[in-house]
Amino acid sequence: MCTFPIADALKAPSARVCLFAAISEIGATVRSRGTDFTLTLRIADQSRPAGISVTFFADNTALLPCVKSGGDVISLHNVVITMHGEFFVTFNKKFSSFALFEGKESTKCSPYQTSMKYHGSKHDNELLNQMRIWLTYNPPGMKDLELQLRSLKTDATFDLVCKVLHVHENNGEWIFYVWDGTDTPAAEFQAILDAEAVESSPLHLEGAPPPWEVLCTMPCVGTVLRVFANRFFKEVFHLQKNIYWVRFCNITCKQEFGIWKGMLSPSSRIRLLSHEDASVVDRLKIYDSRVANQVHRQPMASLLEASNVSDVEYETAGYTTLMESLTHEQVTHKFKTLVRVVAAYPCRASELRLLLTGSFCLRLTLEDPTARIHAYVHKDDGAKFFGGFLTAEALIKKMNKLLGIPEEDEEGVPLIRNPPWIWFCLKSYRLDKNDPWGSRRYRVFGTEIRD
């Protein structure tokens, strides 16, 4: 039987045809309404780059195609073109067969999976080479619109390849906690006349954070982004296993209170990816290289600027992310971290002066790419933290430095503030021995802000 381009096969609905095409989308394996399992792939070739869907049925999942990566090649024998609103291909388990080949990165001509009834033809190698050449110039998916967490943009629609770590449903809204091993860009904040108005910033977006038991399953390096969806996706049942990498298609992002959030729209789709998918392998290589180097574990944005704002007692101590502290097996511990001060309370000059006299505490909101926390400068440590008993003007100047508020110039009041990366020594402690995790607090120690 001859192998047809997809466009030619569409001219013969209900006939059995053979196809040789690239896999552009991988669906989820689900149980059909009967006793079978079903899987849908989308395939494309030179004649139909937009592709067409192929639906497979089998008695058990082992008999379905197990695609390693989008862009791999599939040979289909004796499949039927069907019309139901749109054209699609039906794989009949009684007489259809398939073979899977590696895509453009490979030179192997033997398939890595075949169905029991598949028999190759003498033209397979020629068709495979032609398909790989086409894939070189026409990769599947939307690579031009594919971003990593480290390169997120607002007001842009793009694809995001990431691992889903946790799924939560709240009153019909689905929240996906996703990660790719990189850090979201550090946010800039609206500038203000002085530090007095910067008093609070939320630690989380809407909804409670995951419980400690769930946090402990998440990576401690790299941002975990929340992606919100107000509708159900059939892939949710698979994603709740917390083992899948996916491609979110047509996702958008924005910032709220300096925290990035992703949003899925009615046009968004979720594609499940194999661990052998080229995009997944690439991200894992980047992450493995990053965590192998102590410096590269630090916030990516901090590597672009020197941190010279503070002096710390733990100068030789290693670097710890906030997530590492939040998931530490002991509530009480000390560590050194590299963070930004995104808010402070109080920060009026008159109240800061009282801090130096030991009248009350200063609460700082600290963030790194992995988390936000509140940390307190206790009343006994205020003078040391600010470097002595300073005037009101000197205090405000140092507070502005912490919060990234630039000095006014000839052009007037600045529009944005960008908090610098600062080394802090922190200690974690509990207020209630009967509720150590619920009463956990952070205290700044051994840290002095430079002039």
- What pLDDT, in 10s, does the model give residues 105-117? 777 889 999 999 8
Joined together, the tokens standing for residue 429 give 């402690």
Instruction: Say whether pLDDT at 289 is over 50.
Output: yes
Residue with tokens 């200063």: 362
> Are 288 and 381 in contact, with CB atoms under 8 Å apart?
no
- Which one of 39-53, 66-80, 201-215, 324-338 scores highest in mean pLDDT? 324-338
Q: Which domains does the chain have, with CATH numbers?
A: 3-137 (2.40.50.140), 146-292 (2.40.50.140), 297-444 (2.40.50)
- Which one of 29-38, 245-254, 354-363 scores highest in mean pLDDT? 245-254
Residue 409 pLDDT grade (very low, low, confident, very high; cuts 50, 70, 90):
low
Q: Which of 186-200, 222-236, 323-337 has the lowest mean pLDDT?
A: 186-200
Q: What is the 3-state secondary structure (H, E, C) of the chain?
A: CCEECHHHHCCCCCCEEEEEEEEEEECCCEECCCCCEEEEEEEEECCEEEEEEEEEEECCHHHCCCCCCCCCEEEEEEEEEEEECEEEEECCCCCCEEEEECCCCCCCCCCCEECCCCCCCCCHHHHHHHHHHHHHHCCCCCHHHEECHHHCCCCCCEEEEEEEEEEEEECCEEEEEEECCCCCCCCCEECCCCHHHCCCCCCCCCCCCCCHHHHCCCCCCCCCEEEEECCCCCCHHHHCCCCCEEEEEEEEEEEECCEEEEEEEEEEEEEEECCCCHHHHHHHHHHHHHHCCCCCCCCHHHHHCCCCCEEECCCCCCECCHHHHHCCCCCCEEEEEEEEEEEEECCCHHHHHHHHCCCCCEEEEEEECCEEEEEEECCCCHHHHHCCCCCHHHHHHHHHHHHCCCCCECCECCCEECCCCEEEEEEEEECCCCCCCCCEEEEEECEEECC
Give the pLDDT score at 193: 47
Give the pLDDT score at 305: 77
Instruction: Say whether pLDDT at 196 is over 50.
Output: no
- What confidence tens digit (pLDDT) does each residue in 87-102 have? 889 898 889 999 999 9
Instruction: Say whether pLDDT at 259 is over 90.
Output: yes
Give the pLDDT score at 414: 60
Residue 336 pLDDT grade (very low, low, confident, very high; cuts 50, 70, 90):
very high
Span 321-328, mean pLDDT? 96
- What confidence tens digit (pLDDT) does each residue in 121-135 have? 888 899 999 999 998
Instruction: Say whether pLDDT at 142 is over 60.
Output: no
Residue 118 pLDDT grade (very low, low, confident, very high; cuts 50, 70, 90):
very high
CA–CA separation, 437 and 435 (whole Å): 6
Instruction: Say whether pLDDT at 68 is over 90.
Output: no
CA–CA separation, 114 and 124 (whole Å): 13
Of the chain, the end-to-end C-alpha distance in Å amounts to 81
Instruction: Say whether pLDDT at 276 is over 70.
Output: yes
Give the pLDDT score at 358: 63
Give the pLDDT score at 356: 63
CA–CA separation, 132 and 128 (whole Å): 6
Kindly state the percentage of the chain with pLDDT values over 90: 45
Query: For all residues of the chain together, what is the average pLDDT?
Result: 86
More confident residue, 305 or 181: 181
Span 238-258, mean pLDDT? 88
Instruction: Say whether pLDDT at 145 is over 70.
Output: yes
Span 232-243, mean pLDDT? 82
Span 387-399, mean pLDDT? 82
Instruction: Say whether pLDDT at 387 is over 80.
Output: yes
pTM of the model: 0.79
Give the pLDDT score at 234: 81
Kindly state the percentage of the chain with pLDDT values over 70: 92
Span 223-233, mean pLDDT? 92
Residue with tokens 């089998």: 58
Residue 346 pLDDT grade (very low, low, confident, very high; cuts 50, 70, 90):
confident
- What confidence tens digit (pLDDT) does each residue in 410-439 have? 565 567 889 999 999 999 999 999 998 889
